[in-house]
């Protein structure tokens, strides 16, 4: 098939001659170059490196599965990072979902100035992932930060330094993540708009109050959107990096309490120059994310309702 001037369409099973479609590949070229050079190539390279002792300089010596064996049997910081990351994922994702849905439902009531509030609530999602906000966050939750100044002024309460206390530091990061609920909220809002109004009218004739309508009509009909948001947020949460890096100055401290998986991976690669080992860590994370995503899709048929 050529692009120029013919309306003929390739018949199923018909033979394509070599050279057909070059124009198409030409248009695809920017994406193809990007995919092969910047995505697939490095992915394959990192898998190869994960089987070596590459240090960033010099030769990469083949060590077989040794890096993976060490991750599984002889690396306490790996387990610390797993612990921190899973705590972060299991708390931030549900909280973010609930918060985003609650705000979306409130905004969907059709109150005046909807577009204004929608923009305001979306703002943290635009700026929240940035270094600047993480820096600001550090100022808010530091020992003499804004939060403690406010607590002191209001209640005379001398707060601890939330970010330098190992038992609270992770929760400030979870809070920062939940604050960035905007994009999920926008998707929820779109989902709520999709639910036909007459469904609620039928339910109100059936005597269902607002709460029953929400739990029996809105939530079930929103499950495809909840599912989508949950998967995206879970993947994002496993990959969270910037906020922990900025707030802990790249250490994952205090005493590894904010050692996100990706932060540990970064330290191994760029502080300890163990690129081979870091590559192995990266592939373990890929497997973890793949496992959780697969589980989500497998369980979806039991709780996600797709209309038609």
Partner 1 sequence: MTTLALNRIKKSFGNLDIIRGVDLAIGSGEFVVFVGPSGCGKSTLLRMIAGLEPISGGELSIGGERMNERAASERGIAMVFQSYALYPHMSVYKNMSFGLETAKMPKPEIDKRVRKAADILQITHLLERKPKQLSGGQRQRVAIGRAIVRDPKIFLFDEPLSNLDAELRVQTRVEIAKLHRDIGATMIYVTHDQVEAMTLADRIVVLRAGVIEQHGTPLEIYNRPANRFVAGFIGSPKMNFLDVVASDVRDGGVAIDIAGKRARLPIEGHVAEGAKLSLGLRPEHIGTEGTGGLELGALTVVHVEHLGGQTIVYGRLVDGQSLTVALDGQRAISAGSTLAVRIAAENCHLFDEAGDRIGH
**221 vs 300, beta carbon nearer partner 1:** 221
- What minimum distance in Å lies between the beta carbon of 299 and partner 1? 17
- What minimum distance in Å lies between the beta carbon of 216 and partner 1? 7
**192 vs 265, beta carbon nearer partner 1:** 192
Quick one: which H or E segment has residue 93? helix 76-108
**239 vs 305, beta carbon nearer partner 1:** 305
User: How many residues are recorded in the chain?
Assistant: 308
**74 vs 198, beta carbon nearer partner 1:** 198
- What minimum distance in Å lies between the beta carbon of 190 and partner 1? 18
DSSP string across 104-153: HHHHHTT-TTHHHHHHHHHHHHHHTTSHHHHHHHHHHHSTTSHHHHHHHH
The 3-state DSSP class for residue 62 equals strand
Neighbouring CB atoms inside 10 A of 212's CB total 12
Quick one: which H or E segment has residue 288? helix 275-303
User: Which residue ranges make up the site for partner 1 (CB under 8 A)?
Assistant: 196, 198-199, 201-208, 212, 216-217, 220-221, 305, 307-308
- What minimum distance in Å lies between the beta carbon of 230 and partner 1? 18
**154 vs 205, beta carbon nearer partner 1:** 205
- What minimum distance in Å lies between the beta carbon of 306 and partner 1? 9
Question: Which parts of the chain are beta strand (E)?
Answer: none
Please give the structure tokens belonging to residue 65: 């599965």
């Amino acid at each position: 098939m050529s692009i120029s001037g013919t309306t003929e369409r390739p018949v199923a099973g018909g033979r394509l001659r070599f050279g057909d479609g070059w124009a198409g590949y030409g248009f695809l070229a920017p994406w193809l170059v990007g995919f092969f050079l910047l995505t697939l190539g490095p992915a394959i390279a990192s898998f190869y490196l994960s089987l070596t002792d590459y240090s960033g300089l010099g030769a990469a010596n083949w060590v077989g599965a040794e890096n993976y064996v060490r991750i599984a049997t002889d690396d306490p910081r790996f387990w610390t990072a797993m612990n921190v990351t899973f705590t972060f994922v299991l708390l931030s994702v549900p909280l973010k979902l609930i918060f985003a849905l609650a705000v979306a439902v409130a905004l969907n009531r059709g109150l005046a100035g909807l577009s204004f509030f929608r923009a305001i609530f979306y703002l943290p999602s635009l700026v929240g992932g940035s270094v600047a906000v993480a820096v600001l966050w550090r100022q808010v939750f530091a020992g003499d930060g804004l939060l403690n100044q406010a607590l002191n002024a209001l209640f005379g309460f001398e707060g601890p330094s939330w970010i330098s206390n190992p038992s609270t530091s992770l929760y400030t990061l979870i809070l920062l993540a939940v604050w960035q609920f905007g994009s999920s909220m926008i998707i929820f809002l779109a989902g709520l708009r999709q639910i036909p109004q007459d469904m609620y009218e039928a339910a109100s004739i059936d005597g269902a109050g607002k709460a029953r309508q929400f739990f029996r009509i809105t939530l079930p009909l929103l499950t495809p959107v909840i599912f989508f948001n949950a998967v995206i947020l879970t993947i994002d949460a496993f990959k969270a990096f910037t906020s922990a890096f900025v707030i802990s100055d790249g250490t994952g401290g205090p005493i590894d309490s904010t050692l996100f998986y990706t932060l540990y991976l970064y330290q191994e690669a760029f502080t300890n120059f163990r690129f081979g080992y870091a590559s192995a860590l990266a592939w373990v994370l890929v497997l973890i994310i793949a496992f959780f995503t697969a589980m989500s899709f497998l369980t979806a048929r039991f709780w996600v309702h797709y209309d038609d």
